[in-house]
Structures are given as C-alpha cells and as structure tokens.
Amino acid sequence: MSKRPKLIATDLDGTIVQHDGTITQRTIDAFTKAKDLGVHIYFVTGRPPRWMSEIRDAFSFGGAICGNGAMLYDLQNSKVTEEWMISMPDQVEVARRMRAAIPTISFAIETHSYYHREKSYIPRWDIGLDNVGVERIEDVAKGPVFKMLARCSGGELTSDQMLEIALQELDGLVTVTHSNANESLLEISALGISKGTTLAKVAGRLGIDAADCVSFGDNPNDFPMLAWCGRSFAMADGHPDGIKYAKDVAPSHHSDGVAMVIEKLLELPA
C-alpha cells in the first residue's frame, strides 16, 4: 500500500514507552508530525485512565482507548466517554472457573471508583491502592468492572501458560489476554471487547476502514488490533507470536522503532 495512513494506533508500554517510563523526543516528534498532517492518533492501552496523565503531558493531542478496549477516554479532558464492563455475575463465574483450573490463582478488580485485590494477589504497579486486601474477590464485587486481573503471585505459571488454560476455561464468558509474558498475569475484559474491536468501532465512526489504519504493539493484548488493521507492526523485541497477527515488524522500542516506521509512512502521498 503506497498511501499515507489516515489513522495511527499504538500501544504504550514496550511499544512507545520505554521500560523506565519515558518517551523519546523522536517519538513525540513523529506523532506530532502525523497529527499536523491530519492523521488521527489513538493511544490504545491496557492501562487504566489514572495512568494516562504522562501520556497527555507528553503529547497534548490524540484519543485514547484504555483497559484493553473497555473504554474510550477523552485524554485531554480526563474523561471516560464510553465503556463496556464485566457484569458482577460474570466476575463471580470467572473466579469460580479459574480457581478450579488453577488453585493458586488470585484476583483483583478495577473500576473508576475502586480497585480491590485478594490478600494473596501481590501487586506490582498498584501498590498502596488496596493495602488491606480481602480473602475472596467476590466479597467486594459491587457491580460492573472494566477489568479483572488474575495472577499467580508465586510465579507457578507464566502468563502464556495461564492464558492457554484461561482461553479454554473462559471461552464464551469473557475476553482474556495478557500484556507481559514475564508477570504471571492475565487481564480480563467483557466478552467481545478487545483493543481491536474498539479501534474498529472508533475508525468506523470516523469513516475510516481498516486498510487506512496502521497499528503498533508488542504483546497478546495487541494482537486483535494488529490483526484488524490493514498495516500493522509487531515490535521486534515483543512477544514472539506478534508476527502471526501483524503484517510487518518494527525495530525494537529501545531504538525508536515506531518513530522510524511513522517517519517513512508520512513520506507517502495522502
């Protein structure tokens, strides 16, 4: 395809955000030039909204899809505009099925007004949000949530191993994925919700089809988005299965791989 994209969608962590949390000036400049040329920019992430302030500060433009597709987020005004949630009965059923399949598993749940975890769930990033914890996540489930998290805190299974089990156990109930092969952590969304489905919805509302969309990502939660877009790039230092879903490979995020690709894409005619 020899035309400039109309929409660029990118994952954040491990794709344009370095492991120390920084974003390079080259990356900021590449996205800024794309925006100035009229390309729609979307930051598509597993992050909750409360982790998006640094992205807003770095770019000051673009839309956001948070929670692996669970919500549309007005980045500039810090406001959720649309969301797709996991019902309370489905949360309870997820916990029941996964405890039977992986007895050492533990859970956390998240929505706008609360984050709760089980005592056996050892957080890596949300330390301090729930210092007490509960015995069973069902005891604090109050209503719909945008994400459930499931962890083997002792590292008994890898994220890939957990995902293989969960895809079988939770088929037809919820969408399950992961964003870090080293964390023994699953991320669970409502059935049919993914980065890909929500990006397709956004693009459709803009009158843009998949052929005019480009996406970048590094882990299984990005795979639906990479598969949907007409042009897509798995990060060279990302999950080894990325190329099964993407059309191409971008250089590693450490070497500004996304910026390098965008710079070339913007040389194409509109």
- What's residue 251's pLDDT? 97
Cα 85 to Cα 71: distance, rounded to the nearest angstrom: 9
Cα 41 to Cα 24: distance, rounded to the nearest angstrom: 17
Class of domain 88-190: alpha beta
Is domain 7-84+194-265 in CATH 3.40.250.10, yes or no?
Answer: no
CB 102 within 8 A of CB 184: no
DSSP secondary structure string for all residues of 166-222: HHHHTTTTEEEE-S-TTS-EEEEEETT--HHHHHHHHHHHTT--GGGEEEEE-SGGG
Q: Quick check: helix, strand or coil at residue 7?
A: strand
CB 175 within 8 A of CB 194: yes
Strands in 213-217's sheet, in edge-to-edge order, are: 79-83, 71-74, 63-66, 40-44, 7-10, 213-217, 231-235, 248-250
- What's residue 1's pLDDT? 59
The structure's pTM equals 0.95
Give the residue carrying structure tokens 């070339």. Answer: 264
How many CB atoms within 10 Å of residue 85? 19
What is the location of CATH 3.40.50.1000 in the chain? 7-84+194-265
Greatest alpha-carbon pair distance for the chain in Å reads 58
Low-confidence ranges of the chain (pLDDT < 70): 1, 126-129
CB 110 within 8 A of CB 145: yes
- What's residue 114's pLDDT? 80
Helix runs in the chain, H state only: 25-36, 53-59, 88-101, 159-169, 195-205, 223-228, 257-265
Bridge partners (DSSP) listed for residue 17: 13
Cα 3 to Cα 267: distance, rounded to the nearest angstrom: 9
Cα 134 to Cα 119: distance, rounded to the nearest angstrom: 5
